[in-house]
């Protein structure tokens, strides 16, 4: 059974079909879907979805793209939700994204630190969105060394060298999720990082509706059932049985998210 550790059923491209997607989980061998939020509104929508459906979980937080347009009250609401709702597994997706430039770099860093502080306060894991900002991220995380519960790099796109550096720095605290990009022919660095990642630190995701994996890339929106193609690709890279990988990933997800997952 597969686990999609990062999807967006709240996205307007998937939300109208959410019941169809959830009802098809058993047929598609999906054990669980974890919905990632990017602002207060999506956090509320994802929470409602998880409350209504077994094995659907939520992470709540504010994406760096909203660094200039959120309210302090949003963080207070997110904190209250995370405190009281068992289906909320972590704070996320949070982080840094310099892909479109650095004009809001200071605001992104400020928001990132506020949410890291929240995760420390609540003793919850964090799910990170980091793009073109790995060095800044590393320097910030070093400030929280020994304080954070656990750290998951969603849709990891850094180098294998940086992956190894993160493991040396944070050891058992850090995990890595790989998505559809791993199946792209031109994403050699991501495939190398997935191959280099220790099996006990691996997770898989779709980031649906984005980053549809091969062989469906360019043909349709991504959705959780396509996560199996990422499993297949990494099993091939590591030359191990897919069943072995499935079993290990379940253990990894359970170890990372703790008692809230599976209950």
Q: How confident is the model at residue 89 (pLDDT cuts 50, 70, 90)?
A: very high
Please report where in the chains the tokens 């720095």 appear, as a residue: 169
In this prediction, residue 144 carries a pLDDT of 97
pLDDT at residue 101, as a whole number:
86
pTM, whole model, 2 decimals? 0.97
Longest Cα separation, the chain: 49
Neighbouring residues of 80: CB distance < 8 A, sequence distance ≥ 6: none
Q: Any idea which residue has 């060298």 for tokens?
A: 161
Give the CATH number for residue 51: 3.20.20.140
Residue 121 C-beta-side C-alpha neighbours within 13 Å = 14
Number of domains in the chain: 1
158-204 pLDDT, tens digit per residue, is 999 999 999 999 999 999 999 999 999 999 999 999 999 999 999 99
How far is it, in rounded angstroms, from Cα 108 to Cα 181? 25
Nearest CA-CA partner of 231 in 30, 37, 21, 79: 30
Residue 94 token pair? 């949070």
Q: Contact at 8 Å (CB) between 126 and 90? A: yes
Domain membership of residue 203 as a residue range? 2-260
Task: Answer whether residue 263 shows pLDDT above 70.
Answer: no
Distance, CA of 217 to CA of 121 (rounded, Å): 40
Which pLDDT score is estimated for 262? 85
What confidence tier does 224 reach under pLDDT thresholds 50, 70, 90? very high
């Amino acid at each position: 059974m597969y686990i999609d550790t990062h999807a967006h059923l709240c996205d307007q491209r998937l939300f109208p079909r959410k019941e169809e997607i959830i009802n098809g989980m058993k047929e598609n061998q999906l054990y669980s879907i974890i919905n990632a939020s990017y602002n207060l509104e999506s956090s509320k929508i994802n929470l409602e979805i998880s409350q209504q459906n077994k094995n659907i979980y939520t992470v709540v937080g504010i994406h760096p793209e909203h660094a200039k347009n959120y309210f302090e009250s949003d963080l207070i609401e997110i904190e209250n939700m995370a405190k009281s709702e068992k289906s909320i597994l972590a704070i996320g997706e949070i982080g840094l994204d310099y892909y479109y430039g650095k004009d809001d770099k200071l605001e992104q860093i400020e928001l990132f630190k506020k949410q890291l502080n929240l995760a420390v306060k609540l003793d919850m894991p964090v799910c990170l969105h980091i793009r073109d900002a790995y060095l800044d991220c590393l320097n910030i995380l070093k400030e929280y060394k020994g304080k954070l519960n656990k750290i998951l790099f969603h849709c990891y796109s850094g180098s294998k060298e940086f992956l190894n550096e993160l493991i040396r720095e944070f050891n058992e605290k850090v995990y890595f999720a790989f998505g559809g990009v791993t199946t792209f022919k031109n994403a050699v660095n991501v495939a190398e990082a997935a191959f280099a990642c220790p099996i006990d630190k691996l997770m898989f995701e779709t980031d649906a509706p984005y980053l549809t994996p091969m062989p469906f890339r360019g043909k349709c929106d991504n959705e959780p059932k396509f996560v199996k193609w990422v499993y297949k690709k990494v099993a091939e890279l590591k030359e191990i049985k897919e069943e072995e990988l499935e079993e290990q990933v379940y253990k990894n997800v359970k170890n990372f998210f703790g008692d809230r997952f599976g209950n």
